[in-house]
Amino acid sequence: MDNNEEKQLESLGAFEISDRLIALAKEKATQPFFNAGRGNPNWVNARARLAFNRLVEFGLTYEQSDDRELVMVPTTNMTDAFLDFLTASKTDQFLLQSLLYVEKTFAVSKEAILQEWLQGALGDNYPVPSRVLPISGQIISTYLNQVLIKDPTLTNDTLVFPTEGGTAAIVYIFQTLKENFLLQKGDKIAMNTPIFTPYLQIPKLEEYELVEIDVAATEHNNWQFDPKELDKLLDPTIKAFFIVNPSNPGAKAFSKAALDKLQQILIQRPDLMILTDDVYGPFVEDFQSVYAIAPHNTLLVYSYSKLFGATGWRLGVIAAHKRNVFDDLLQTLSSEQKHALHKRYEIVTTTPESLAFLDRIGADSRSVGLYHTSGLSTPQQIMEVLFSLTHLLHLTHDPYVADARQLIATRYHDLMHALQLAEDEDPLNTKYYTLIDVYRLAETKYGTAFATYLKEAFEPIDFLLRLAQTEGVILMDGVGFGTKAGEVRVSQANLATERYEKVGKRILSVLDDYYAQYKKNH
Ligand SMILES: *Cc1c(COP(=O)(O)O)cnc(C)c1O
């Protein structure tokens, strides 16, 4: 590829570039190729999945023991039969403990819980109520509080809307903000960059034309931003602040200083809308979400994809406080705007003015007209509940979470060791991703003149292309996430652990090749 072709490739999104790299690696590489680009975990949570299967099995066999194909779904008097059905296996004991925990914590009967779980797992009814199944909503809210929010006083007032992954949550929120005139063409929104690519790409779409204000973190500062950057939010023309926390690809959680600073700023900006995507929160031990310090301003997005290895299930959730700035801002719209919204929502409620913002998201997710069949599929809701319960039963020490953290920490260590780089042991570092500055690495190994040569003679993407072609290693280009050129993202999530040392060595080997070429020419 010549420089011009490489320039064209650089104009694609990071995930699209990654697809090209995979094709190249498959074509050219002599050795098995390693895709260390994607954040898709290569582990799964087994307990909750086995428990889900047991619920399905019980629901389909308890009323009739022969294996008929047409079966009536049990609706009453299930508790005794279910308790008889359970064995001493770890999975069944998890179900039993879960049942007892939910009964005690939320003061609901075992029968009511089983009804929701069995009907939900079998998927024989529309999601009713459509936003979230009643007991499931309380369990998911409690889970979010335990892993992200850590303020029990907020649990009862935190409402949830499960969605088809964090992806759908993000799309739905953008859509409802726009439809309800809370974000309009030309509005300014701030983001903590570098950031997960869709947050940069969606506002660029013609229908939004939003202006981004970077609240930037840099490698120089170990991907932690200076809390002073948040002063930018004092500008009253900035309508919203979109956050990925802990960040992707920077992999850092907001510091206590940053949370305090944001809280201060909100005293002067009580109208600021915040969206926080806390998908990586559980990978930081003492994590606290922005939602905890600004519940009235914040929509929280979470996904079960990463921690539980469940990207194929599509399990996400939006959480909002019962009293929030989104509902308040709806009251301040012009009478024409209110009139338009009255028309928009009058087919689903007789009092459209009081339809909460979170419920508007639900209605909009199905183009309003199909609100009555909206909501996440019930088996997906029950899967979210079971994943949540694996944590809720282990509040003081969750061995699954500890194992997941340990796994990525080991991979991070092996990678950094092979690259001969110092590890960032800051407890706010999730270690889920590593950003490597290729030019700085070149400078450290072979000096400034060589790093300058690399910058000037080659397109930044050239390094990723060579790495894919000659070494069969795929990494993600950081530029799509808003980093400067030459930053590449390694994911510690999706390769077998023994491969991370090799990834590090192969990165250095490509640098060696460039250096050999450089020495020949100089
Ligand atoms: C992976 C990721 C998501 C996507 O979540 P899904 O539930 O798989 O759609 C959302 N936000 C961030 C920051 C992510 O890294």
If you take atom 10 of ligand 1, which residue's CA is the nearest one? 166
pLDDT, tens digit (0-9, with 9 covering 90-100), for 109-153? 999 999 999 999 999 999 999 999 999 999 999 999 999 999 999
What phi, psi does 413 have (nearest 5°)? -60, -45
Tell how far the Cα of 304 is from the centroid of ligand 1, in angstroms.
9
At 374 the three-state DSSP class reads: coil
- Our measurement of the distance from residue 277's CA atom to the centroid of its chain's CA atoms, rounded to an integer in Å, reads 6
**pLDDT bracket for residue 306 (50, 70, 90):** very high
Which ligand 1 atom sits nearest the alpha carbon of residue 165? 7
pLDDT, tens digit (0-9, with 9 covering 90-100), for 12-68? 888 888 888 888 888 875 677 899 989 999 999 999 999 999 999 999 988 776 778
Tell how far the Cα of 459 is from the centroid of ligand 1, in angstroms.
29
Asked whether the predicted pLDDT for residue 209 surpasses 80, the reply is: no
Other CB atoms within 10 A of residue 179 CB: 18
Rounded Cα–Cα distance for residues 18 and 109 (Å): 50
pLDDT, tens digit (0-9, with 9 covering 90-100), for 386-436? 999 999 999 889 999 999 999 999 999 999 999 999 999 999 999 999 999
Q: Is the CB of 277 under 6 A from ligand 1?
A: yes
Model-wide pTM > 0.85: yes
Q: Is the CB of 305 under 6 A from ligand 1?
A: yes
Q: Is the CB of 39 under 6 A from ligand 1?
A: yes
Q: Output the pLDDT for position 203.
A: 79
Rounded to 5 degrees, what angle do the CA atoms 173, 401, 505 make? Answer: 95
At 435 the three-state DSSP class reads: strand
Q: Output the pLDDT for position 504.
A: 97
Is residue 61 classed exposed, middle or buried when 0-12, 13-18 and 19+ CB atoms within 10 A define those classes? middle
Q: Is the CB of 432 under 6 A from ligand 1?
A: no
Q: Is the CB of 165 under 6 A from ligand 1?
A: yes
Other CB atoms within 10 A of residue 508 CB: 13
pLDDT, tens digit (0-9, with 9 covering 90-100), for 475-496? 999 998 989 999 999 999 999 9
Spell out the residues 6+ positions from residue 457 whose beta carbon is closer than 8 angstroms to its own. Answer: none
Report the first-to-last Cα separation within the chain, whole angstroms.
23
Q: Output the pLDDT for position 516.
A: 96
Q: Output the pLDDT for position 65.
A: 65
Residues pairing with 242 in the sheet: 191, 275
If you take atom 5 of ligand 1, which residue's CA is the nearest one? 166
Strands (E), 438-477: 473-474, 476-477
Q: What is the mean pLDDT of the chain?
A: 94
Q: Which domains does the chain show, CATH number per domain?
A: 3-39+399-521 (3.90.1150.10), 47-122 (no CATH), 134-392 (3.40.640.10)
Tell how far the Cα of 280 is from the centroid of ligand 1, in angstroms.
9
Other CB atoms within 10 A of residue 379 CB: 16
Which of 173, 193, 243, 248 is the best mutation target for the ligand 1 pocket, counting ligand atoms within 8 Å of the beta carbon and taking the most? 248
Kindly state the helix (H) or strand (E) to which residue 360 belongs, with its residue range. Answer: helix 357-364
Q: Is the CB of 167 under 6 A from ligand 1?
A: yes
**pLDDT bracket for residue 385 (50, 70, 90):** very high
Residue 147 tokens, joined = 């892993």
Other CB atoms within 10 A of residue 88 CB: 7
Tell how far the Cα of 131 is from the centroid of ligand 1, in angstroms.
21
The residue among 499, 521, 399 whose CA lies nearest residue 449 is: 521
Rounded Cα–Cα distance for residues 127 and 131 (Å): 8
Residue with tokens 């010549």: 2
Which ligand 1 atom sits nearest the alpha carbon of residue 304? 7
Q: Output the pLDDT for position 434.
A: 96
Q: Output the pLDDT for position 100.
A: 98
pLDDT, tens digit (0-9, with 9 covering 90-100), for 221-264? 888 888 889 999 999 999 999 999 999 999 999 999 999 999 99
Q: Output the pLDDT for position 185.
A: 87
